[in-house]
Structure 1
Amino acid sequence: MNRIRNSAFDRARMNNMTTEDVDLRFADLDAWPLGSAMEAMWEGQLAAVAAIGHALPAITAAAEAAKTALGDHGRIVYVGAGTSGRVAVQDGAELTPTFAWPGKRVRFIVAGGDSAFVTSIEGAEDDVDDAVRQINAARLKPQDVVIAVAASGTTPFTVAGLQKAGSFGAVTIGLANNPGTALLASAKFPILIETGRELIAGSTRMKAGTAQKIVLNLISSGIMLRLGRVYRGMMVNMLPTNAKLKRRAEAMVAKIASCDPPHAARSLEQAGGDIKTAVLLALGVDRSDAEAVLKDCDGNLRRVFAELAADVDDNRERKQSVANKP
């Protein structure tokens, strides 16, 4: 059956669904002066941000597990429907331009398919069979990380997708805005963000959506931090694919290598646009040595500098030892 009827999913929808409840404080929101309504909606956004604080340990645990699993070949897979699916797509789409995360290592499993990225296909959220088909087509492995997002925590497509992903041994992360729901129960790493009633009942594009976007930002950025794709607050894996990004890359090389802009620009050109390699070239490291040490350190620039410093110390000790011989 493509649609679930009278199932556990449907029964769960009747319980713990605060995101669907009318908040009596705002029952007459449409009659308020617009300025007052705007202030109330803004305060709702602030409350959504504050609700994330309690979940930081769970978010951190999920990011750590994801980093450990991904290795050199694992993929980040987002699963969702409706608003939550589109919020997830927004996060995943930014991984390549921000962190040079390979496009083949990110995948979207969204109810309704690619067309749902920009068009609302609400009925698709009940299509459990499609969720299973898409998960099967992804050929998941234990190295893959699946992040499923649903404000309700009961969306049949999303729950079924996460459960199927778990059967392949993938790391499963579930993000929901209602407690005690099937999505959280199905995830190895459940993340509950209790944003409560929406000012406009059921409009989870507001408080719930804001919280989801922030949590996804934290998870994906945390993964990239641990993978060494950030150094001293800079996205050193970024690809300089346009004039603005080229200027940004040159500025990064100049700052990290403490060199002048022309030298940074030459080094970046010699490195074929690779910022980390360019930094080492700007510091006088041979190209082949730069590439070798980056490979040995899994591309982590902080580890590279620690290793180079250790080599300098070793050389200094050897020279001192020779000098001290009678």
Structure 2
Amino acid sequence: MPRNDALRRELDTLTTEAFRPELADIDRLPTAEIVALMNAEDSGVSAAVAAGLPVIADAIDAAAERMARGGRLVYAGAGTAGRLGVLDASECPPTFNTSPGQVVGLIAGGPGAMSHAVEGAEDSREMAAADLDALGVGPDDTVVGVSASGRTPYAVGAVEHARRLGALTVGLSCNAHSPLARAAEHGVEVVTGPELLTGSTRLKAGTAQKMVLNMISTVAMIRLGKTYGNLMVDLRSSNEKLRARSQRIVELATGAGPDEIEAALSAADGEVKTAILMVLAGVDAPTADRLLTTADGHLRAALQAASPA
């Protein structure tokens, strides 16, 4: 195998790759001590995320503005970072009833890389550009490059190409002064420090990335009117648990009884937001749908239109 001294020197400078000599004998410790160490390590992740909140909030507002115009939220990463993006994207349709393709997760090497490493995929800027071109990324879209190191060519290449296409760009990394953050309009650097296992960024760095991705998708959906207060009024009732949750959400939002809730959900074809508007405003399903369409899906605005002061 050929040596790559330049890459090795680069990795030696990364906080996420740092070796911790005080943990060199961790394999000799009792299991109870190891899990206590891991728990203590994770306790600092939230503080690291908190340091980046102003940048995260600005990025979310910019992304939500574009999504309101029909733009998409696209995550791009390799390995663990790519899998976290795919996970966050896959949870949006059942949670927020997002349309197909509204939130997309791209992983270097394609869907097969979710379970099996694809040789060399993370090193290809060209692959990232091709993946974005296949989606037809444009000015209304937001591309979030995700990389713990902040140097992964696939993630950096995705952000660089997205900027050339006019898309909004966000770079999420876990090292300071990263190429990914420099390439993006919004550079989010959540510095979680050296890992318990040297270079295993599925640990603290992965936890931090998951937290930030949760914020990006969740708060963007709140801004888009996918919630009513802290209730998920745009969820998709695709199984028994979600159908029961739909009934409970309508009850919490309206205080109505079981029969009225069941009738409203039936008339609304299971759409929670429509059912709530029907009950609170005393309108039928077609009227509720029309009010919601006029209000761009925002339930509070639709309620105000139905019952103007």
Query: Where on the TM-score scale, by shorter chain, does this alignment land: which range?
Result: over 0.9
- Structure 2 partner of 1:244: 241
Aligned equivalents of 1:280, 1:100: Cα separation in 2 = 17
Q: Which is worse superposed, 105-114 or 148-157?
A: 105-114
| Residue 117, structure 1, aligned to residue 114, structure 2 | yes
| Contact kept? 1:251, 1:261, Cα under 8 Å | no
- Structure 2 partner of 1:107: 104
Instruction: Give secondary structure in 2 for the equivalent of 1:191.
Output: strand
Count of paired positions: 305
Identity among equivalent pairs (%):
37
* Greater Cα radius of gyration, structure 1 or 2: 1
| Residue 277, structure 1, aligned to residue 235, structure 2 | no
| Unaligned 5+ runs, structure 1 | 314-326
Structure 2 length-normalised TM: 0.94
Shift of 1:107: 2.3
Partner letter of residue 83 of structure 2?
R
Shift of 1:282: 2.3
Partner letter of residue 193 of structure 2?
G
| Contact kept? 1:86, 1:117, Cα under 8 Å | yes
- Structure 2 partner of 1:321: none
Aligned equivalents of 1:122, 1:109: Cα separation in 2 = 16
Shift of 1:6: 8.7
Instruction: Give secondary structure in 2 for the equivalent of 1:164.
Output: helix
| Contact kept? 1:16, 1:178, Cα under 8 Å | no
The RMSD of aligned alpha carbons is 1.7
| Contact kept? 1:110, 1:116, Cα under 8 Å | yes
- Structure 2 partner of 1:303: 301
Instruction: Give secondary structure in 2 for the equivalent of 1:211.
Output: helix
Q: Which is worse superposed, 300-309 or 252-261?
A: 300-309
Pick one of 262, 265, 288 that aligns with 1:290: 288
| Unaligned 5+ runs, structure 2 | none
Q: What do the CA deviations read for 1:290-314 (whole angstroms, capped 9, x no partner)? A: 12211121111122223334x2x3x
- Structure 2 partner of 1:231: 228
| Residue 159, structure 1, aligned to residue 156, structure 2 | yes
Shift of 1:53: 0.8
- Structure 2 partner of 1:221: 218
Instruction: Give secondary structure in 2 for the equivalent of 1:73.
Output: coil
Aligned equivalents of 1:12, 1:182: Cα separation in 2 = 15
Structure 1 length-normalised TM: 0.89
Aligned equivalents of 2:5, 2:266: Cα separation in 1 = 62
| Contact kept? 1:148, 1:158, Cα under 8 Å | yes
